[in-house]
Structures are given as C-alpha cells and as structure tokens.
Structure 1
Amino acid sequence: MNTEYYYWNDYVPIQTTWACQFYNVSFFSQISSFLCVLYILFNCIKNKSTLRCLPNHLIICLLVVSSWTISIDLMNTEYYYWNDYVPIQTTWACQFYNVSFFSTSTLNRFLMAFMAIERHFLVFRHQLYRTRRSRYLLHYFPILIIIIYSFTYSIYTDIFLTCPLLRFRYTRFLCGYTCSLLSKNASTMFLWFQLFTPTVVTCIACFLLPIRFLFQKRNLQRLQWRRARKMIVQMIIIAGAYILSWLPYAIILQLATINLISLTSDTTVEYMIFDSYVTSLLTPFICLHTISERLKLDIIKRMIRLCFVQRQNTVHVQTALATTNQCRTVKPPNILPQKRTSCGS
C-alpha cells in the first residue's frame, strides 16, 4: 500500500463458483424485488393518505433507490461476472458505473441513518412536526441535503478528480475503480464518513430506540403507544437488514485499511461486492410490512385474487348451487278433481 494511493486495481474479482451461484439466486430475486417495488409505489400513488404520512417518505425514498440499484447496478455486475468484461467499454460508461454504484450505496446508508434518528423525534417529540415550517426544516430539507450531497460528492470524485493511477480496464469490475478509491485522501473520506459513520449511527440509534421506548412508555397515551410500537417495529426490521449487510462491509474495509487483513482473496472481494446489493433486494419485501394496514390488506387481497382465481371461482359456484338446492321447495302435484259423469252419458 502506497503512502499516497491505494492499489485497489490489484484486487481483481474473477468468476468463481460462489459468484455464479449468487448470480442465479440474485437473478430471480431481482425480478421479484423489482416487481414488488413497482406494485408498492403504484399503490402508494393511488392512496394519497400513504404519501402524506411522514414516516412513509423515507421508506418510499429507499424503495426508489433500491429499484435503481436492482435494475441498473446489479444488472451491470451480473453482466460483468457472466462475461468477464463490462457491458459498455467507453470512458464515460466507466464513470457512469462508478457514479451510480457509489452514489446509490452512499444515499442508501445516509437515508437509513437519518431514518433511525428521525424515528426518535416521531415517537417521542411528534409535536415538533405539527407546523409546515417545522416539517420542511426537520424532514424535507435534510432529505434534500442528503440526496444532493450523495450525488455531488460521487460526481466530483468519480469524474472530475484525477490521479496518476487512474486507468480504466474493461476486464475489471467497475473498470478498475476511479480516484474516489485510488486516492488515499478520497478513500479515507469514503471509508470513514460515507461508510463507517452512517452505519454506526444506524446501529446506535436503532439500539437506543426500544430502550428509550420502554422507559417512557408510561408517558405515552394508548393511541400514541400503539403508533410508537408500530414505528419501532418498522425501524428494527429495516435497520436490522442494513446493519447485517453494511456493518461487516465497513469492518472488513477498516481492517484492510490498517493492513490487518488482505483483499487479495477472491471470495472476500466478491462478498464485499455482492453484499452491497442484499439490502436493495430485501428492502421491497421488508417494506410490505412497514406500509399502512389499509394498503397492506389491499395488496394481500389482490395477491390472493391473482394466485387463487380458479379455486375461488369453483368454491363460489359450488356454494351457490348448494344454496340454491337448499332453498328450492318441492311443490305438491296439482291434481285436478275428475268430473263425474252420469251413467247415461
């Protein structure tokens, strides 16, 4: 490792059995996750009350980021591991791969960290969001700052920042990275501020939220208690998936930075690459549990109709026939009296 630059280009992930197995699994989960994202977003747009709910805004942002990661970044990674070269072999395409990969992953982690912090205010200081000014100041403005920062920093470090080791190789993952990881200062900034810090903040905020809820549960009303418990369960489920994915990722890179472990192992590098997509694949399914009860029941009913159409129709027809047979009454035959005739006739 150089005092000025990190030789990330020396660690080349190759196509192994482990990567091919993950590719087969991720391909099917990629399709199902993307369809799940589209279905949830479509129902959220139809249900205006879901869009107006503040806790759902960050969930929708995570869904949008996950859909981009699943459809663009993961597809490029699968193509690389399948063919041993990047899809489009140009300079601007290599820059686009790096900007898309690092900006979406950074945005994912910062949104999750802000969501973990905001849950404390929504549960215990919800009166702060009553006015429009406070909602813009405490909710919308931080989300906008996070989005602008994530893309601006990635565009600057992956496109405009130059270094002597920058040379795109089309047979390497993300064309061999850009100066955002090749430069020592930029790499240290990425590891500590954009990777390690939001992951640790998410862990601490998620750990303190249920503890704080147990101590202050008596101060909450019954309606507030149910609402707070629901948001805490939502937070624990979503943050748990992010912590299990990004915390080992951050620890491995920190140990590699101080030369305690080496990244020359193909399995380690492949794990670090594919581990960043786990949260994006799981987020749509986790969000099915975190949306409103009304929307969740509507989704479940529609899924049952799509999956069990013939079965329901058969039962319905048999039930209708049985009901008709039970209600049908047997009328006695209409016997008309015979006319008596005289013997002389």
Structure 2
Amino acid sequence: MADIVYNDSSINDIKDNYTTSYSNSQTSVSATARFWILLFFEIPSIFCSILLLYNLYFDRTLRKVLNNHVMFIILIVGLFSQTIDVSNYLTYLRLGYMWPQTTINCYLWWFIGAAAYNLLGMLMAWTSIERHIIIFHHRWLNTQRKRIFIHYIPLISIVSYACSFYTACIFFGSCQNIIDYPQYWCFGPSFLGIVGLNLFDVLINSILPSVLIVIVDILLVIRFIKQRRRFHPRIQLYKYRKMIIQVLSCSVVYLLFNFPLMIIYLALMFGLPYGSTGELEIFIYFFSYFIPVFMPFICLGSSKEIWIKMKKMVRIRYTTDRVSPQVLQLN
C-alpha cells in the first residue's frame, strides 16, 4: 500500500474527502470484481514466493551468490506485504470495512503497508546500483571485508532505515492516530497529516528510489552495450546479461505500477484537491498492490537455476511413476 498524500488544502476536511474518494459504489469496476482479480494472482504469488525463498535459502549454491541476497530480502518484504497489506485490502474489498476490527491490526496494516511498499522501491534502487558493482567493479567484492562494507552493510542499512522510520512515525508519532474501521486503511496513520514529515516521506522514501531506478538502469544498459566486448569468456557475458535482464524485468514491473502513483503524489503536492480525480485515483492505488504480487513471478521467471531444479524434480517424479513395479492380480 502506498502512502496517501495530503496537501494543505485537504488537511482540514480530510475525512470527507477520504470517504468520498474510496467509496466502492462510485467505481465502474465493483469492489467484488477487484477482489477476485487481485485474489486470482495473490494465491499463486504467495506459493511462488515460498518456493523461491525455500530454494534460495536451502540451496547452498544459490545462497552464496551475492546478487541473490537482495532478491531474497525483496521476496521476504513482498511476502509480508502480501500476507498483511494485500490480505487486509482484500478483506476491505470483500466486506467494505476493516476486519478483524482491532487496533493492532490497523497498526500492522499501516506499518506493513507503508514500510514494505516503500522498502521495495529502496531495495530495487539498490539492486540496480549493486548490479553496476558486480558487473563492472567485481574486484570491490573479492574479499570478505569488502563484501561486508559494500554488500552487507548497505542492505542492512536500507532495511533498518525503513523499519525505524515507519516505526517512529506510526507507533511513536507526536500526533494521535485516528482509527476508523469502516474506512480504507483504517483512515491512515496521523503522520501523513504533518506536511513536513509527509513531504519528506514522499520525496525521499517514494519518489527518489523510483528516479534512481530509472537513471541507474538506463546507465547500466548503456554501459553494458559499450563494454560488452571486454567480457571474456563468452559465458561471463551471458551471466552478466542474465543479471541485467533480471533487474530490468523487476524494475519495469515496479515502475509500471508505481509511476502513476508518483504522478498522483506530485499532483497532490502541488495542490490538486484530494479525491478530485475520482475513480482514477482508486484504480491507481488498486494497481499498486500488484507490485508485491507480480514480483515473485518475475524473480522465478528470471531464475534459470530454480527452473532447472523444478524440471529435474518433475522428470524424476515422472520416471519413478513409469518404472514403479505394478502389482498383478491373478483371477
């Protein structure tokens, strides 16, 4: 779930606008239809995430590959988003209100909805940057000490920053949170109504990662095309090309569903009345939920090693079924 952006003109009458904007009866696609569309992809996506996490963790070869570490964290963050954020949104679409109606459930929805969504963008931006290092500056990672400072510390810092920021804003904020169970996202955490803090959150935690993803990925492709002849042997070229395709695929999915949200963010920041776009705004927030849902499919599609393991398992199972002894019954 992406943060709801408030501007000065909407803070005074925020509740009326909020209720109007997220009224399910005012959309051309009903809440029930949106529920089934999202659920159709949500269930296989969760199984796909579990499959990938299992293989990335228990397969020693895959676990040792540095570029798999950030994907592992992205899948974990996405799984949290799917099981809490997306699940609560599905419940809201199905029932028209938050359930179970408990304070802790709303706080968890706020925290996972804001932290997990924006953390995915931060991790995607770092993934693009790290691909530059792995492909063009691999010597920076040739010792354990270098890997700690260049690989592990940035990952830990990004996750720690996002968790700390949203923990402080949501659980220990200076303003009192208002919980309204019939409203979408329990009406939202109160820190979104603090203009300065909300502005920082939007610019630094939401828009900046998206801008970095676009710039870094474009530079990555240009640099790879210009320097592809320096990669020897050919297997090295194939390996790096596969890594670039993987990060580009994830970036395209993220930006495809996140870019309209960034436009809404900027429009609201520059004075667009909240809810003035009608159902368009509702659909933009709806499609943003497909980022954590589609990400496991992209990761699986670009993980050739896991596909090979799955094919071997299916082939072994098929062979076992064919050669298993049959019990003959004599009449």
Of 201, 224, 238, which aligns to 1:213?
Answer: 224
Of 186, 200, 205, which aligns to 2:197?
Answer: 186
2-structure distance, mates of 1:270, 1:199: 21
TM-fit CA distance, 1:186: 1.5
Specify the alignment match of 2:42 in structure 1. Answer: 30
Of 1, 5, 8, which aligns to 1:2?
Answer: 8
SS at match of 1:119: helix
Specify the alignment match of 1:228 in structure 2. Answer: 240
Kindly indicate whether the alpha-carbon contact (under 8 Å) linking 1:14 and 1:81 is maintained by their aligned counterparts in 2. Answer: no
Q: Map Cα deviations across residues 81-111 of structure 1 (whole Å, 9 max, x no partner).
A: 2112111323333222211110101111100
Where does the alignment leave 5 or more consecutive residues of structure 1 unmatched? 318-345
How is 1:1-345 mapped onto 2 (pairs within 5 angstroms)? Answer: 1-2=7-8, 5=11, 8-9=14-15, 10-12=17-19, 13-16=22-25, 17-163=29-175, 166-222=177-233, 223-260=235-272, 262-291=274-303, 293-302=304-313
2-structure distance, mates of 1:122, 1:137: 14
Kindly indicate whether the alpha-carbon contact (under 8 Å) linking 1:113 and 1:202 is maintained by their aligned counterparts in 2. Answer: yes
The percent of aligned pairs where both chains have the same amino acid is 24
Kindly indicate whether the alpha-carbon contact (under 8 Å) linking 1:11 and 1:264 is maintained by their aligned counterparts in 2. Answer: no
**What amino acid is aligned across from residue 175 of structure 1 in structure 2?**
C
Kindly indicate whether the alpha-carbon contact (under 8 Å) linking 1:245 and 1:278 is maintained by their aligned counterparts in 2. Answer: yes
Where does the alignment leave 5 or more consecutive residues of structure 2 unmatched? 1-6, 325-331
**What amino acid is aligned across from residue 202 of structure 1 in structure 2?**
I
Q: 1:305 to 1:252 in 2, by over 3 A?
A: farther
What is the root-mean-square deviation in Å for CA atoms of aligned residues? 2.4
- Normalised by the length of structure 2, the TM-score is 0.86
Give the 4+ runs in structure 1 shifted more than 4 A.
Answer: 3-8, 303-306
1-structure distance, mates of 2:152, 2:10: 39
2-structure distance, mates of 1:96, 1:221: 49
Q: Map Cα deviations across residues 211-242 of structure 1 (whole Å, 9 max, x no partner).
A: 11111112222233222111111111111111
SS at match of 2:248: helix
Q: 1:11 to 1:213 in 2, by over 3 A?
A: same
Task: Point out the structure with max Rg over C-alpha.
Answer: 1
2-structure distance, mates of 1:68, 1:90: 19
SS at match of 1:11: helix
**What amino acid is aligned across from residue 195 of structure 1 in structure 2?**
S
- Bigger shift: 246-255 or 135-144? 246-255
Q: 1:289 to 1:6 in 2, by over 3 A?
A: farther
- Normalised by the length of structure 1, the TM-score is 0.83
Kindly indicate whether the alpha-carbon contact (under 8 Å) linking 1:6 and 1:184 is maintained by their aligned counterparts in 2. Answer: no
Aligned residues: 311
